[in-house]
Chains A and B, each alone.
Chain A
Amino acid sequence: MTPSESYISIRNVGKKFGDFEAIESISMDIREGEFFSLLGASGCGKTTLLRMLAGFETPTRGDILIDGQQMNDVPPFERPVNMVFQSYAIFPHMNVRDNIGYGLRRLKLPRAKRNDMIDEMLELVQLQGYGDRRSDALSGGQRQRIALARALILKPKVLLLDEPLGALDKRLREQMQVELRRLQRSVGITFVFVTHDQEEALTLSDRIAVMSGGKVLQVDTPDGLYERPRTREVAGFIGSMNFIEGKVLSRVNGHATLGLSAFGEIQVDAKQIGFVEGEAVPLAIRPEKIELLKEPSEGAVPGSLELKSYHGERSYFQVRVDGCDDLVSVSTQNAGRAKLRALEEGAAVWLKWRDDAFIVLDKN
């Protein structure tokens, strides 16, 4: 990314709590107007990183720049960012209107102007007519919208959201995801969104940083992460995945032939990656990239069906292949596959794939 494209620059940022290193050393750039997600399991340091952007924690090393401005010594109340807290932090002694208008007080606007802005926000988050409600008599979804409106009314350069949908039930969460996306598009503000839910991150984000143990493993677009995960950790975190060990048999003209023992041989592109003959290569393949057949076919690997599970739109099959310890997971679209779905557990099946469906992962 060129420096001019980078709106938030995180440079070698680390954070220690006493002896405990919550963030090791993170460098990444976030673009202007982007919906950027931090994705990772609980405890991996997402909140800590977000709080450093907001100014509630100071990095023990490294620099944070927002819109070209060094942020390290800027206190939270002077940063051009606003945050939606995980607990929403709605002020209990104020009504909805006063909550949303909280940050406007300081700007000394005329009352009419302020009221107009609040009304506009109420409309944006679809809470028209709720202005005079007491804030302690609201549902989770409503509180969440107020927290959003309260932050957005100040037109921050960046909006930080810490698992804002985590406390909502599934249906409301899905509805809010759509709204959040619509909102971000319409206001055009850069969103930095924390979540541990990979599906949420994939559906909402322009780009995602996958985090683990205080480190960023990979920053990529949702389809980039899905189609080209670089490490086993990332590949396992996003969607389901079959992992297979390959061995370099030969290498000719930028192509390498890999032996996968029970799964035969595949040809992969080996232009950039330094394959050495005889070396082991970690490979991965998505369940839906494997074709499941009821009859033998040219190049197909035989196996037996151990388990099948029905997931509405798709079905998942666990297939045992001789000479392979792990079950191979295969998934197929259900529409028009009545015969496959009718397969009994224990039936003989055949697996087939295209060589380029395999993803070559980084070692270790």
Chain B
Amino acid sequence: MSDAVSTQGSIPPTQTERRNGLGRLIARSEVLRGYLMLSPAMIIMIIGVLMPFLILVAMSFWTRDGFDFDTTLTLTNYGRAIDEPIFGAFLARSFWVSGIATVATVLLCYPMAYYVAFHVHRNKMLWIIMMTLPFWTSYLLRVFAWKVILGYEGVINSSLLTAGVIEAPLEFLLYSQTAVIITLAHAWAAFAILPLYVSLEKIDRSLLEAAADLGDGPTKRFLRITLPLSLPGVISATFLIFIPTTGDYITPALLGGPDGAMIGNLIQLQFGAVNNWPMGATLSIILMLWIAAVALVFLFVTRKSKESLI
């Protein structure tokens, strides 16, 4: 009797033990569990980002050989990119246009985010949704909308004409750097508003009261408390706009005209009409390195200026 009980009792546990061996290992190891949760994202990252990137890096050291690639590794393309002024000029213009667009967007969105965070007390989410409403339409549609507004016979020109303010349509509105900057600033506004709002909303209001109590008026309070504490939002907003807009090619292609073309258009040409993929890859890598460098400088400068603020 006792024998039967012991055998009956001992077999199932060993089975479950074996079955749960892996599960238990996973449950026990914090690190393993972390990797398990990350793995879907990691697979996508490896297939979708890391592999193309490695191919791009490799290709940037190749050269074009008719319709084929010469896969011997050389720095020829990098040499061309440095020697021929057109590449540098396009790069500089891209940074200029996207820099202005970024600064304009952050400066315009900061007060909006500030207003909602500090002065709206009900339905804050509704306000945020309203502000990011343009984002519900496609990027291309937004660009075309600006084309309609800024065009030769567009909304601005025709209303100014009808009002008699101008006699001939303003031509600088469309197909210019201005048009690209305006469109980029508007199209990417939501990417600025959201991080700015979150960082402002997070600020403990009693900190501002404490600053007032210690003798600071509204301006000083903003500079010494609100601004430094919202800096993470400003930095993310800046990066979120600056990085993608520098390489943007749709907006400059549709609204830039000859003066407004950017490095993205040049890269697109290399992969398209010019059909020099290795050169396109080289330009992409150079753009990326420059963006990283600018980002680091920006981080350094903001940290330093924050220290001088407080």
Contacts and interface: CB of A to CB of B under 8 A. Distances in A.
A76 to B, nearest CB: 4
A206 B37 CA distance: 61
A87 B204 contact: yes
B217 A94 contact: no
Contact of B220 (A81, A83, A106): A106
Contacts of B224: 102, 105
A87 B204 CA distance: 10
A85 interface: yes
Given A89-B210, A94-B310, A77 B225 contact: no
A85 B212 contact: no
Interface residues of B, number: 19
A77 B210 contact: no
B229 A102 contact: no
A249 B280 CA distance: 110
Contacts of B216: 77, 106
Interface residues of A, number: 24
A9 interface: no
Interface string B205-225: 011011111111100100011
B99 interface: no
Contacts of B206: 85, 87, 89
A194 interface: no
A56 B217 CA distance: 13
A158 to B, nearest CB: 12
Given A77-B215, A103-B215, A154-B215, A91 B210 contact: yes
Contacts of B225: 91
A98 interface: yes
B64 interface: no
25 contacts: A75-B212, A75-B217, A76-B212, A77-B214, A77-B215, A78-B215, A82-B214, A83-B210, A85-B206, A85-B210, A87-B206, A89-B204, A91-B207, A91-B211, A91-B310, A92-B229, A93-B229, A98-B310, A102-B211, A102-B214, A102-B224, A106-B216, A150-B214, A151-B214, A154-B215
Interface of B: 204, 206-207, 209-217, 220, 224-225, 228-229, 306, 310
